[in-house]
Amino acid sequence: MAKKNTVPAPLTPAVLHILLVLATGERHGYGIMKQVEADSQGTVKMGPGTLYGSMGRMTQAGLVRESAKRVDPEMDDERRIYYELTNAGRAALQGELQRYRGVVAVAEGRLAYGD
Amino acid sequence: MATDVAVQRYRKWYAMLLRLYPRPFRERFGEGMAQTFHDLCRERRGARRGLFGFALWIFCETLVGIVQENTTHMPQLGKTVLRVALGALAVLMAPLAASQFVEDWHWGMRGFAAVYAVFFATGMVFALLTRKMGSWYYKAVVGVALVAGVSLGVVEHGPGGGLGTSGAPVVPQCAGGGGDWGKPGPAEGGWAGVDVVRDGGDARADRRDAAFGRAALPGAEYGHWAWCVHGVVHCLRFPVPARRFGSGVR
């Protein structure tokens, strides 16, 4: 029988970007999409299918939660659902960044050895 | 450039597309998705950019999400059945393509339906037997056993009409493995495959790996019994030529 993997699986790029955006405060769907595009300098473009599919899984995993509906003063008078990071979401983001640091350290070591 | 009419039309179509999501997902995120799509359209219109290509991309992207969500909410058995049904359909493409190039291969719709049913049943048996197996080696062995059994049935008793290597019906070997093997052909090869896997599974089960035995034996037995049933039917349909039992038989 295969051994159970205790190491948390790496986050998908979409989930990582959403967590990064929500780390600075709560946002609605369109706001998340625009911020992801800006953060990645236009290289990551996600549509509503990817965004809300990821949000569904993240909500289920307890990484994000919905906050109250309200109007975005910069846009229009439509009421929107805002999303915010939970403590578990913040911990997952920190864990992922730690994993990235480890990968970068190994890569730098290998490159230095190559030189 | 995007017009108000075009935006309204795309919003309407997008709302219809969102209905394909599973109900719990749609009730939770449908409104937000429709709102986000509207925001994106408005942004494009404000920037005086075209809408068709953009809407097409969003529709395709959402369609992928719809498939994912529907698959996620499907029970495990439903997923297995769907996978096996699609796999059987893919395998069926081989005889379907071959029938276009091989002369005297006229299965017809009923024949293909029967073969599809056999492929599907075999796939389901494989999925059920191997559902808790971690090792690909074991899965492969069970697969060999099943394919061997099915090849016996299809080659000997399939819609082609019981053709052996010489074009004549081959005597079934189900009665305790006795009789002459005759000329080597696909049926004999298939039977040998079943036998080898069954004996191998037996041996391993006796020693240390009970999981292998548990999986390989039913796999081989499936082939074995498929062969026996087909053999009985064959005996009833075709008289047994004496020459196939060796020269000692008078």
Contact list, A50 vs chain B (CB under 8 Å)? 61, 65
State the amino acid at position A73 in one-letter form: P
pLDDT of A97 higher than 90: yes
Task: Say which range, A27-36, A93-102, B77-86, has the weakest mean pLDDT.
Answer: B77-86
Q: What is the mean pLDDT of residues B189-198?
A: 63
pLDDT of A90 higher than 90: yes
Q: What is the mean pLDDT of residues B177-184?
A: 42
pTM over 0.80: no
Test the B interface: residue of A15, A26, A52 with most B CBs within 10 Å? A52
Inform me whether the C-beta atom of residue B35 falls under 8 Å from chain A C-beta atoms.
yes
Euclidean distance between the first and the last CA atom of chain B, given in angstroms as a whole number: 90
DSSP B91-149: HHHHHHHHHHHSTT---HHHHHHHHHHHHHHHHHHHHHHTTT---HHHHHHHHHHHHHH
C-beta atoms of B29 and A56 within 8 A: yes
CA atoms of B84 and B121, how far apart (whole Å): 9
Inform me whether the C-beta atom of residue A11 falls under 8 Å from chain B C-beta atoms.
no
C-beta atoms of A80 and B33 within 8 A: no
Inform me whether the C-beta atom of residue B40 falls under 8 Å from chain A C-beta atoms.
yes
Q: State residue B220's pLDDT score.
A: 60
Contact list, B66 vs chain A (CB under 8 Å)? 49
Inform me whether the C-beta atom of residue B10 falls under 8 Å from chain A C-beta atoms.
no
Task: Say which range, A34-48, B12-26, B40-54, B174-188, has the weakest mean pLDDT.
Answer: B174-188
Q: State residue B229's pLDDT score.
A: 59
Q: State residue A69's pLDDT score.
A: 73
Q: What is the DSSP letter of A54?
A: H
Q: State residue B127's pLDDT score.
A: 85
Task: Say which range, B152-156, B176-180, B186-190, B191-195, has the weakest mean pLDDT.
Answer: B176-180
Burial class from Cβ neighbours inside 10 Å (0-12, 13-18, 19+) for residue B169 reads buried
Inform me whether the C-beta atom of residue A27 falls under 8 Å from chain B C-beta atoms.
no
Contact list, A81 vs chain B (CB under 8 Å)? 31-32
Task: Say which range, B22-26, B43-47, B158-162, has the weakest mean pLDDT.
Answer: B158-162
C-beta atoms of B35 and A1 within 8 A: no
